[in-house]
Amino acid sequence: MFASARKLRAAGVLGLNERNCEFIMRFNPRRLYPRVDDKVLTKELAIAAGMAVPELYGVIANQGEVRGFANIVTDRESFVVKPAQGSGGDGILVVTARSQRKRNSFRLASGVLISEAEIRHHISNIVSGQYSLSGNPDKALIEYCVEFDKVFAELSYQGVPDVRVIVYRGYPAMAMVRLPTRASDGKANLHQGAVGAGVDMSLGETLTGVLENNIIDEHPDTGALIAGLRIPHWDLILQSAARGYEVTGLGYLGVDMVIDQEQGPLILEMNARPGLNIQLANCTGLADRIARIDGIHDPRAKPAERARIARREFPAERQTPLPFAD
Amino acid sequence: MKQQYVYGLAALLTVVGLSVFIYKWQVLGFPISEDQETPVWTIESAIRFESGPGSIKVNLHIPTLTPGFRMLNENSVSRGYGFSLNYGSGGREAQWAIRRADGPQTIYYRISVYEDPRSDQSDTTPPFPPPPVINEPFKTAVDVIVADVKEQSADTASFTSELLRRMNDPSPGPNVELLLSNAQDYASFVTSMTTILASARIPARIVRGFELQGRQRDAELLAWLEVHDGVRWRYFNPLTGEESLPDRFLIWWRGNEPLINVEGGSNVQVSFAVQENHLDAVAIAESQAAQRGAALIDFSLYSLPIRTQAVYGVLLMIPIGALAMVILRNIVGIDAFGTFMPVLIALAFRETKLLWGVVLFSLLIALGLSIRFLLERLRLLLVPRLTAVLIVVVVLMLMISLMSHRLGMETGLSVALFPMVIIAMTIERMSVVWEERGPADAMRAGVGSLVIAVAAYIFMGLAWLEHLVFTFPELLLVVLALVLLAGRYTGYRLLELHRFRALARN
């Protein structure tokens, strides 16, 4: 037991207690939480900072407005409904199309048809606070449904794959691509069954994947090889992530981005308590990188410079040998 | 910086908690284990006499200094008599007085003592006794014996032993025989020993008391010899010269004065009855502390009404259960619903007992969850839906109680003790997790809650721990210190060792 704890310590693995005690409590003052917990506010702050976000179609803030849902989406074919203060991807509804015959019937990312009444009930649940972190009344966001870049087509089963970057004191420290699976119901959250794939910070290339704490090489549904995929706009992704620090003020931050076919990287949300599975996906502990950043930290560095330093400092430590490598 | 702060605070709390605990345990004698009962001896002296025509005054010697024993309480039962306690030359005396009384009279004096080996109240050092005035021919005999014994002894103790050995010699010399001819009974034998010792300038006195053992209806007073060696009083067996005191020897009074003196009465009889009881050690410690005036005791939980005590007996265990939960959640890393839900469930387990508790809890959650899924289809808003779940939980509890009553299983009735609001919230939370993250996550957190509840129940059910916390509530400061330390524990959780095992291989 102590031996394996020592091994983890040697590998620089960050534990939940240490993350909470040493980094979240130290660098993430509670008063800044609303900036990331309320997605409407996050969006406003990101837009003000000149960052690209998915277009907001409308906000439903109380039960009386739930009936106005149809008007918000009247000329939209696809959209996403999500709680403003949801956590862990709970309560997100992805509508990819409308039914051919009935306009008030919607097709979810999973292919299931859902009626307008059902969506209204879902929104009503969101507004009454079922998915909010505190259980308080919440707002429902209706926003642009990302047309994800085809580069990930082979590697995701429905849903939208996204890129999660951990930003420590403004420096991107680690990244992973989260790939939806059949089990995760099109959602890109690891604890819901999505695959997380580590990313070589310097190249923007995927490494091995992790599924439920196990390291895997192939996507469980499509069978495609996870490693070796070059993520487009990698420079921009790291810069946007680094800029998340200025936007939120949080020293330990998870920035989630999607890559839209036409609009490029869009900031989806930010997280003040990003999970630790990213270490498994990268086969690397966070503690070493955090210590490295503490060593080179420069409070005057601009986001672009910090992104450049991250690319320089954190190449994948060992390339996983590909089966077809010669 | 913060780390040192927490360590300092935890150390301070531990020191304060432990020092109060040790003071109460070691100095005030509070017992650390539950069924610690101390034997308490009640000695009742009944004084019977025929009343004369005039006023009556009764003086009885009562225990003053009792090495090996401490007094718990004393009282007197006498009808119409005025009662007072005085100090006489032989120690404490109880005095009863009445202007006039008719017929046979009975007065009771009762004292309760308990053994306390630490009780060694030593008397003051006496002055050297003046040489007693002894008539001839005894004076010469005493002088010869003293001179002989002095030859064959080194100090006070050996002198006394040697003297007693000679006096008890089955074939005594003429001087000894002469002296013994004067002693009619055992007590006067011991008294004459004190006289001989006095002429050797050794302070000595006769002590009388009881050998306490079990229940005695007519306990006999035993005379013993007490000799001062210049430092402390030593006890000698007058019959063997051996330095010893019988087991559980309660000294009733010292000196040559008679036990009782009745003015205006005749036919005086004094009898002693001994009774052994077992009293809760806590009660003894309390009364003792009260006698000393220890302020700490005024804040003891035992001073509360019994009903309130029962409530606090349970309440004080909640921190213990919560500590178990903190360890399981933050150091082991088990998932659970709600912050304190497992502890509250564990509280309910105290009433239902473990097996039934787990069965009833699982049944309630399973039934509640299935009905909650039906409610999901009705598309209710949050607050009415939660209320509906709560009502369903109450109805389910009622049904389980009625069913089990019908089946003759009275344990099922205790389902009513589950905190229904907590159960309702758990069902709601579990159903949301079930839908959002799948049954596996919901079951994992559900089973985790149950595991923590069972562990908390086991800890909260430890009788010795409950007694310890109730008698020494200051130990909660130590629990607080442990929780503070757990709050700054930044090491891996045990389950993380498993979770990240893939990274440990390299």
Q: pLDDT tens digit string along B21-53? A: 898 888 777 777 766 677 788 888 888 888 877
| B425 or B417, higher pLDDT | B425
Whether residue B164 sits in one domain with residue B76: no
Of B49, B15, B103, B16, which Cα lies nearest the Cα of B262?
B49
Whether residue B365 sits in one domain with residue B445: yes
| pLDDT for residue B242 is more than 60 | yes
| pLDDT for residue B368 is more than 80 | yes
Mean pLDDT over A107-111 rounds to: 81
Whether residue B274 sits in one domain with residue B234: no
**pLDDT tens digits, A129-138:** 877 766 678 8
Whether residue B230 sits in one domain with residue B269: no
Percent of chain A whose predicted confidence (pLDDT) is above 70: 94
Among B379, B383, B490, the residue with its CB nearest the CB of A17 is B490
Domain-embedded: residue B366: yes
| pLDDT for residue A324 is more than 60 | no
The residues facing B207 across adjacent strands are B224, B254
**What is the structure's pLDDT at B311?**
78
Task: Dig out the tokens for B168 from the structure.
Answer: 């008890």
| pLDDT for residue B435 is more than 80 | no
Annotate A187-208 with b (16+ C-beta within 10 A) or e (fewer).
bbbbbbbbbbbbbbbeebbbbb
Whether residue B269 sits in one domain with residue B250: no
Whether residue B341 sits in one domain with residue B379: yes
CATH assignment at residue B144:
3.30.460
Mean pLDDT over A317-321 rounds to: 51
Q: Pick the range with the lowest mean pLDDT from A76-85, A198-207, A249-258, B248-257.
A: B248-257
Distance between A6 CA and the closest CA of chain B, angstroms: 9
Q: Binning pLDDT at 50, 70 and 90, where does residue A325 land?
A: very low
Annotate A63-80 with b (16+ C-beta within 10 A) or e (fewer).
eebbeebeebbeeeebbb
Interface test mutation site (partner B, options A1, A2, A6, A8, max chain B beta carbons within 10 A): A8
B264: number of Cβ within 10 Å: 17
Q: Binning pLDDT at 50, 70 and 90, where does residue B353 land?
A: confident
CATH 2.60.40 fits A55-143, yes or no: no
| B481 or B4, higher pLDDT | B481
Whether residue B206 sits in one domain with residue B107: no
Domain-embedded: residue B437: yes
Annotate B468-500 with b (16+ C-beta within 10 A) or e (fewer).
bbbbbbbbbbbbbbbbbbbebbeebbbebbebb
- Find the DSSP H helices in B275-419: 281-292, 306-315, 318-326, 341-352, 354-377, 382-406
Among A121, A193, A279, the residue with its CB nearest the CB of B503 is A279
Q: Pick the range with the lowest mean pLDDT from B277-291, B305-319, B322-336, B471-485.
A: B277-291
Whether residue B350 sits in one domain with residue B388: yes
**pLDDT tens digits, B330-340:** 999 898 888 88
**What is the structure's pLDDT at B457?**
92
Q: Mean pLDDT across chain A, nearest whole number?
A: 85
| pLDDT for residue A159 is more than 80 | no
Percent of chain B whose predicted confidence (pLDDT) is above 70: 93
Amino acid identity for residue A228 in this structure: G
**What is the structure's pLDDT at B1?**
60
**What is the structure's pLDDT at B229?**
81
A-B Cβ pairs (cutoff 8 Å, strict): 94
**What is the structure's pLDDT at A265?**
92
Give the sign of the dihedral formed by CA A135, CA A140, CA A143, CA A145.
positive
Q: Binning pLDDT at 50, 70 and 90, where does residue A321 land?
A: very low
Whether residue B450 sits in one domain with residue B341: yes
Whether residue B116 sits in one domain with residue B244: no
The range of the structural domain enclosing residue B52 comes to 37-120+265-283
Distance between A299 CA and the closest CA of chain B, angstroms: 22
Mean pLDDT over A265-282 rounds to: 88
A122: number of Cβ within 10 Å: 22
**What is the structure's pLDDT at A88?**
62
Residue-range domain boundaries for chain A: 2-37+148-313, 55-143
Distance of CA A216 to the CA centre of its chain: 20
**What is the structure's pLDDT at A320?**
47
Total of domains in chain B? 3
Q: Binning pLDDT at 50, 70 and 90, where does residue B120 land?
A: low
Amino acid identity for residue B302 in this structure: Y
Of B278, B371, B361, B327, which Cα lies nearest the Cα of B479?
B327
**pLDDT tens digits, A282-299:** 888 899 899 999 999 888
On whether any CB of chain A is under 8 Å from the CB of B440, the answer is: no
Domain-embedded: residue B277: yes
**What is the structure's pLDDT at B476?**
93
Task: Dig out the tokens for B95 from the structure.
Answer: 């005095």
pTM of the predicted model over 0.80: no
Whether residue B222 sits in one domain with residue B348: no
Whether residue B249 sits in one domain with residue B269: no
Among 3.30.470.20, 3.30.365.10, 3.90.1330.10, 3.40.50.460, what is the CATH number of A2-37+148-313? Answer: 3.30.470.20
Q: What is the ipTM of this complex?
A: 0.73
| pLDDT for residue A126 is more than 60 | yes
**What is the structure's pLDDT at B360?**
85
Mean pLDDT over A185-207 rounds to: 83
**Count of alpha carbons within 13 angstroms of residue B487, beta-carbon side:** 16
Interface of A to B at Cβ within 8 Å reads 1, 4-5, 7-9, 11, 13, 15-18, 21-22, 63, 88, 90-91, 117-118, 121, 124-125, 128-131, 183, 191-193, 210, 213-215, 279-280, 283-285
| pLDDT for residue B85 is more than 70 | yes
